[in-house]
Amino acid sequence: MPGRLLVSISSIFDATLDNVTSMVRDLDREGVAVSLLVAPHIDKKWHLAEDNTTREWLLGQLDKRALMLNGFDQPVQGRRSEFANLRAHEARLRLKGATRQMAALGFDLDMFAPPRWRMSDGTLEVLSEFGFAVAASTKGIYRLHRDEFAQARNLSVGEGYGAAKWWRRNVIKAAERGAEKGNTIRLSASGRELDQKKVRRDFLAAAAAAVEAGAEPADYRDFR
């Protein structure tokens, strides 16, 4: 049975929007579904509520593709990953703030992907309290309402995982090998890296390699 190909893009804000939308169009032309990771704040400087252009574009995507909550205050730089080490109480507070703010802007999201896909046990413990049906981490994908887990490695470009040439080549090879084995392939890219033509080219190449090796394009809504 062939595995799925799940492609996602994070770090979507005013400075990256043009490159993100261009990549989405390229993937659409290739018949590859794209999931979008969104957050109400990025590095305490950008606020979705104050960025009408990005907000309106994202609202226009709600019925077309999967949108996943990508934290409360996603940092631009540094080693910190917002939900990597939080206890349940701390995760609950951040999720409460994020879901309330996103709902007020028209985004009632039931899928969660923490920044850099790093999710603590405490975060996983409280997600169902906020109506999340699906969550994804570095380990795989959780169907929360069914108490099911599907192991699936994530291959990231940017998002703290690098975007150097050698890394991109490894991502392409890993996507191809995994698809040949019938595994679900998860590819993700940071919008901050998509201004580089070589990064764009190789990210598309990784998706194409997975499809050519037998993976079927899908998005995270398939796990609801």
| Cβ neighbours, 10 Å, residue 61 | 17
CA 198 to chain centre: 21
193 contacts 158 by C-beta, under 8 angstroms: yes
Predicted confidence (pLDDT) at residue 141 exceeds the cutoff of 90 = yes
Query: CATH code for 4-223?
Result: 3.20.20.370
Query: What is the pTM for the complete model shown?
Result: 0.95
* pLDDT, position 10: 96
Residue 102 corresponds to which tokens in the numbers above? 């996103």
70 contacts 39 by C-beta, under 8 angstroms: yes
134 contacts 220 by C-beta, under 8 angstroms: yes
* pLDDT, position 80: 65
Phi-psi region of 17 (alpha: psi -120 to 50; beta: other; left: phi over 0): alpha
* pLDDT, position 44: 79
**Which residue ranges make up each domain of the chain?**
4-223
Judging by DSSP bridges, how do beta strands 148-151 and 140-143 pair with one another?
Answer: antiparallel
Residue pLDDT, tens place only, 61-118: 999 999 999 999 866 444 568 999 999 999 999 999 999 999 999 999 999 999 999 9
25, containing H or E segment: helix 17-29
Q: Please name every residue paired with 174 in a beta bridge, in sequence order, or none if there are none.
A: none
Q: How many degrees, rounded to 5, is the angle at CA 110 between CA 109 and CA 116? A: 85
Residue pLDDT, tens place only, 164-193: 999 999 999 999 999 999 999 999 999 999
